């Protein structure tokens, strides 16, 4: 099965310009409704290639005590990261190193999504710090704490985060460095994202490579690339989407029409519901940036961190939650979470309960019934 071949790779994973579309499309699919827009991932990836970026290293190439710095983009998908410039991602890493004096051996993305899968590439090209194939999580997630690999449960842990953003009205770049309890710092970053009207570039929470082996999602970038390659090998829209269930050897695809969509930004994140019809089935998607639950007349079909993803029915183009429109025909993909490469953060019961309160759904009990 593909999962075995995703583990140890001492040979660098090629990330050439020709590979970019597969990385970004595979990342978008694993984004599960969030993780950034495809056009923004392509734009950032092309810029990185123009600066000389070409390869990703395996975690097995580093000693256990090598420090890895997480890079991310925080905010609501509907806001987009369009205000951020490539140099802003670089500046976040520079600022972190300036303020801490630490020697960073590698960069890891906080998640996998269309933007998350290439986050680190520009910083790597500019600062000559390698990107490591060991994201904090192998899919996208709504809470910054979910990309912190369980550090929020470490008593007395002091979070350090450098952020860069641009204000929508003036376009001025703002930067800040936070140090303190991880929940307080993560909340402060979300407040900055909401205030900017877009997303913020973040560099945060260095940890040893040995920690990421146990708590992160090594091999998830390679998985995204292979999913993207399989997806692009087909031209028929439905076969493209079904190639993903073939990759995992499990899952289902539903063709549906969008009846109604409600969406609002709350505390820097997108929150909403999408009502769909598929034959006699009345389906409901809830979202908090990413898709959180899928139900058929109240019967739970999937629950985060299961992968729920949407695609345009005519083109099979992956659609994040912010792009869904009423009247649209879509394919709905569902893959059980136990087939994904998941970091410690998305398995945390307390964080899943927090999602449930935000969207008005029971997360843990629903998963127990399945």
Q: What are phi and psi of 293, to 5 degrees?
A: -140, 155
Residues facing residue 202 across a β-bridge: 72, 163
What's the predicted TM-score (pTM) here?
0.92
Instruction: Tell me the pLDDT of the chain (370 aa) as tens digits.
Output: 344 344 445 678 999 999 999 999 999 999 999 998 999 999 999 999 999 999 999 999 999 999 999 999 987 555 555 578 999 999 999 999 999 999 999 999 999 999 999 999 999 999 999 999 999 999 999 988 999 999 999 999 999 999 998 876 656 789 999 999 999 999 999 888 877 767 899 999 999 999 999 999 999 999 999 999 999 999 999 999 999 999 999 999 999 999 999 988 877 678 899 999 999 999 999 999 899 999 999 999 999 999 999 999 999 999 999 899 999 999 999 999 999 999 999 999 999 999 999 899 999 854 444 4
**CATH classification (class only), 234-369:** mainly beta
Report the pLDDT value the prediction gives residue 322, as an integer from 0 to 100. 87
Pairing verdict, β 307-312 and 318-319? antiparallel
Among 122, 126, 148, 153, which residue's Cα sits nearest to residue 135? 148
Domain ranges of the chain: 9-221, 234-369
Report the pLDDT value the prediction gives residue 172, as an integer from 0 to 100. 79
Report the pLDDT value the prediction gives residue 78, as an integer from 0 to 100. 56
First-to-last alpha carbon distance for the chain, in angstroms, is: 24
Is the domain covering 9-221 a CATH 3.40.50.2000 domain? no
Report the pLDDT value the prediction gives residue 162, as an integer from 0 to 100. 97
pLDDT in tens, 208-233: 999 999 999 999 999 999 999 999 99
What is the residue-wise DSSP string for 66-118? -EEEEEEEES-TTT-STT--HHHHHHHHHHHHHHH-----EEEESS-STTGGG
Chain centroid offset of residue 316 CA: 20
Report the pLDDT value the prediction gives residue 144, as an integer from 0 to 100. 87
Q: Which residues, in sequence order, are CB contacts of 59 under 8 Å at separation 6+?
A: 132, 133, 134, 209, 212, 213, 218
């Amino acid at each position: 099965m593909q999962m075995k071949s995703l583990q140890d790779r001492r040979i660098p994973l090629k990330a050439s310009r020709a590979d970019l579309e597969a990385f970004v499309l595979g990342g978008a699919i694993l984004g599960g409704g969030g993780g950034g827009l495809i056009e923004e991932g392509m734009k950032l990836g092309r810029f990185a290639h123009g600066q000389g970026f070409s390869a990703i290293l395996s975690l097995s190439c580093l000693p256990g005590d090598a420090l890895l710095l997480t890079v991310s983009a925080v905010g609501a998908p509907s806001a987009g990261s369009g205000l951020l410039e490539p140099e802003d991602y670089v500046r976040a890493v520079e600022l972190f190193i300036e303020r801490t004096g630490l020697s960073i051996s590698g960069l890891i993305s906080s998640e996998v999504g269309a933007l998350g899968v290439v986050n680190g590439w520009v910083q790597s090209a500019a600062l000559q710090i390698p990107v490591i194939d060991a994201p904090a999580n192998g899919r996208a997630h709504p809470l910054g704490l979910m990309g912190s690999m369980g550090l929020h449960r470490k008593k007395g842990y002091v979070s350090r985060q450098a952020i860069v953003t641009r204000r929508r009205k003036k376009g001025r770049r703002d930067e800040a460095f936070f140090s303190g309890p991880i929940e307080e710092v993560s909340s402060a970053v979300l407040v900055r994202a909401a205030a900017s009207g877009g997303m913020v570039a973040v560099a945060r929470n260095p940890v040893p490579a040995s920690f990421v082996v146990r708590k992160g999602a090594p091999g998830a970038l390679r998985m995204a690339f292979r999913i993207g390659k399989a997806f692009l090998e087909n031209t028929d829209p439905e076969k493209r989407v079904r190639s993903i269930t073939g990759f995992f050897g499990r899952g289902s695809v539903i063709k549906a029409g969008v009846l109604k969509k409600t969406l609002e930004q709350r505390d820097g994140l997108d929150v909403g519901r999408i009502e769909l019809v598929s034959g006699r089935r009345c389906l409901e998607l809830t979202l908090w940036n990413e898709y959180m639950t899928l139900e058929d007349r109240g019967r739970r079909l999937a629950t985060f961190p299961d992968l729920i993803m949407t695609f345009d029915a005519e083109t099979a183009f992956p659609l994040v939650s912010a792009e869904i429109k009423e009247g649209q025909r879509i394919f709905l993909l569902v893959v059980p979470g136990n087939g994904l490469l998941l970091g410690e953060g998305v398995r945390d019961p307390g964080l899943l309960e927090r999602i449930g309160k935000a969207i008005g759904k029971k997360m843990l009990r629903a998963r127990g019934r399945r």
